[in-house]
Amino acid sequence: MVNKIRKKLTEKQKEVLRILENFILEHGYSPTIRQLGRLLNIIHPSAVFKHVLSLEKKGYLERKRGELRLTGFPSLLESQVRVPLVGFVPAGQPKEVFDVSGEAVEVPEWMVGRRKGNIFCIHVDGKSMVDAYIDDRDRVLVERTSSASSGDMVVALLDDGSVTLKRLRIEDGNIFLAPENPEFEPIEVKELRVLGKVIGVLRKY
């Protein structure tokens, strides 16, 4: 396949590309022309398709098996997927909110599989999970889910609205969010509210 030269985009084309990328990151698949039109507030599908063709000609998109695909990445990244980078989550003392970054990261496709529209990435802030090989500033892949089993590593929402990354322990009906570092104490919760389960760790040495 011959690489296309990526030409400068108009402001409208930048908007179309940004909306396409955000949709794919959130859902794991591309929108239809009509869905894209609704997101762009463009009524006529032919007008939307005109923007798609322009982006394709400039080397930013390709149509394959009826789907729109973002292009222009090096061939070595073909086996990788992009997931949204949500920001920091504490592995130490609970923190009030995620720090939303608006960025995305490339991760190996095998780590995500068919769940790619349901995965996000977080930065870890703290050392309460070091014995589980999750250290301060690591990036952790999390699958969105509201359920988990005892022993799972989870991102949980606490009663006061803060969030934390811990190991879920359920013992005799009692619920604990346990650290993997003896310097930290477990957190006992009355009601478990899981935001996601950890599926992998990304680290650069």
The catalytic residues are: 128, 166
Below-50 pLDDT ranges, the chain: 1-4, 73-78
- Range(s) of the domain holding residue 64: 11-72
Same domain as 154, residue 110: yes
The CATH number of the domain where 141 resides is what? Answer: 2.10.109.10
Residue 6 inside a domain? The answer is no
Q: Whole-prediction pTM value?
A: 0.58
Are the CB atoms for 141 and 129 separated by under 8 Å?
A: no
What pLDDT sits at residue 77?
37
Expressed in percent and rounded to 5, the helix, strand and coil fractions of the chain are 25, 35, 40
- Residues 1-56 have pLDDT tens digits of 344 455 678 888 888 888 888 777 666 678 888 889 999 999 898 899 999 999 88
pLDDT of residue 73: 43
Question: For the chain, what is the domain count?
Answer: 2
Q: Which pLDDT does position 204 carry in this prediction?
A: 64
| Residue at 4 is within a domain | no
Which H helix or E strand runs over 109? helix 109-112
pLDDT at res. 24: 74
